[in-house]
Amino acid sequence: MIEKLLKSKKLRLTPFRKEVLEVFINEPNAIALGDIEARLKQFDRITLYRTIKSFIENGLIHEIVMPGDIKKLALCPDECSSVNHVHTTQHIHFRCKMCENIFCLDLHEFPEINIPRFKIDSIEIQGTGTCNICS
């Protein structure tokens, strides 16, 4: 499965890429870089950063930045392109104020926003509140 996923995003399989990708697959929510580091057995920081960078560039994961300098990473939907990573924005980012987890939530209908003379390439919607586990 991991090999197939890497291949579909035009990335060669290496033991380290496999290990990092497994961390994402085993984590249902968005994950902070520090949490990834904590789950790896042994790693070199530069190699990890390069791996994360190539995952982002090839449409495997995306970065989530929320107010309060919160940065997390999450797996992308399959549709994200492996070339120049065109990220499909049909989901919102939701931060639970109780457990502080950040979720990628799919929306059935994404609002269409038009502003005259402004060309919008992407729109990001963020929300905060209480998640289904904490409520």
What are the residues binding Zn ion (CB under 5 A)? 62, 74, 76, 80, 87, 96, 98-99, 104, 131, 134
Contact between 41 and 33 (Cβ < 8 Å)? no
Q: How far apart are CA 73 and CA 19, in angstroms?
A: 15
Shortest distance (Å) from residue 50 CB to Zn ion: 19
- Between 19 and 24, whose beta carbon lies closer to Zn ion? 24
- Between 114 and 122, whose beta carbon lies closer to Zn ion? 122
Shortest distance (Å) from residue 14 CB to Zn ion: 21
CA 95, 21, 52, 92 dihedral sign is negative
Contacts of 47 (CB under 8 A, 6+ apart): 16
Shortest distance (Å) from residue 41 CB to Zn ion: 27
Shortest distance (Å) from residue 105 CB to Zn ion: 8
Q: How far apart are CA 101 and CA 28, in angstroms?
A: 10
- Between 19 and 102, whose beta carbon lies closer to Zn ion? 102
Contacts of 107 (CB under 8 A, 6+ apart): 90, 91, 92, 125
- Between 17 and 64, whose beta carbon lies closer to Zn ion? 64
